[in-house]
Amino acid sequence: MEKIDLHIHSSLSSDAAPSFEEIFRKLKKEGVTKGALTNHIPEPPGHVWYGDCGAVKKLKKQRDRLEDKYGIRVLVGAEIDVINNNGALALPDAVVSEFEIVISGVHRYPTLMRPLPNGESMHYGPAEYYAVSEGVLRNPLVTVLAHPVWAFDKLFPESMQKQANAWFPEIYKREIMRIASEEGKAVELNADEIWRMDDAWFEFGRQYGNTWSIGSDAHKLQFVGCVDVCYEAVKKYGIRKLISV
Ligand SMILES: [Zn+2]
Ligand SMILES: [Zn+2]
């Protein structure tokens, strides 16, 4: 099975360090044959790397040169925030279309303050989480639903976050997997959060014949290409369909 890492942040992201070339070198060392650069959009002023004329084109040129040198394929993509429950992304469609892979998942809640007072997180939080996830899956420009559980516990006060993943309603897990399948979207096995995903995600994945993506979500060079934990899940759950990009 080909080793892929389709979620990598470079120094273009305000919270990440590695250069584009360091990423290539590390992927090669880890035996990854296909990667994807997926820097954050949006970014605070001073870190905006996208959107000016030709930014994505320039990146692709740089990539072409590095691909020739290292002999591995790396897509020029982005991890773009979703800004409402209908799956609108924080970038005009014309610019989004320039990317070779677009990943998006829940980072923030467009309509919720969090954590909610008086335990209301429990009632409204999961519904909002689900609504944002469905929006992402319904957007035709999105390729991969990133880290499907990552932001869920952040709905709750810190003291409750450790237990919170267990409160992710089963019906929302099922609907996320069902709609991902219906929309032809891959769901990400994210090395950084795979511990949050219980058997139910994989059972629904099998039931709906889902396609999965794999990503380290590396922000530091040492984690680029570190996706073994994802492939352990592939083996454990007998996953056959990995994204082909
Ligand atoms: Zn993310
Ligand atoms: Zn990320």
Q: How far is the CA of 118 from the centre of ligand 2 (A)?
A: 31
Q: What is the pLDDT of residue 156?
A: 86
pLDDT tens across 14-44, in order?
A: 999 999 999 999 999 999 999 999 999 999 8
Order of all β-strands in the sheet with 212-215: 4-8, 34-41, 73-80, 101-104, 144-145, 186-190, 212-215
pLDDT tens across 41-92, in order?
A: 999 888 899 877 789 999 999 999 999 999 999 999 999 999 999 999 999 9
Q: How far is the CA of 224 from the centre of ligand 2 (A)?
A: 12
Q: How far is the CA of 128 from the centre of ligand 2 (A)?
A: 21
Any idea where the domains of the chain sit in the sequence?
4-236
Nearest 5°: the CA angle 188, 189, 193 is 110
Q: What is the pLDDT of residue 116?
A: 75
Summary mean pLDDT of the chain: 94
Q: What is the pLDDT of residue 53?
A: 76
Contacts of 225 (CB under 8 A, 6+ apart): 3, 5, 26, 27, 29, 30, 31, 32, 35, 216, 218
CATH superfamily of 4-236: Metal-dependent hydrolases (3.20.20.140)
Q: How far is the CA of 8 from the centre of ligand 2 (A)?
A: 7
Percent of the chain with pLDDT over 90: 81
**Ligand lying closest to the C-alpha of residue 16:** 2
- pTM here is 0.95
How far apart, in whole angstroms, are the C-alpha atoms of residue 201 and residue 187?
Answer: 10
pLDDT tens across 128-138, in order?
A: 999 999 999 99
Q: How far is the CA of 219 from the centre of ligand 1 (A)?
A: 11
pLDDT tens across 105-145, in order?
A: 999 887 787 777 777 777 788 999 999 999 999 999 999 99
**Ligand lying closest to the C-alpha of residue 219:** 2
**Ligand lying closest to the C-alpha of residue 217:** 2
Q: How far is the CA of 231 from the centre of ligand 2 (A)?
A: 19
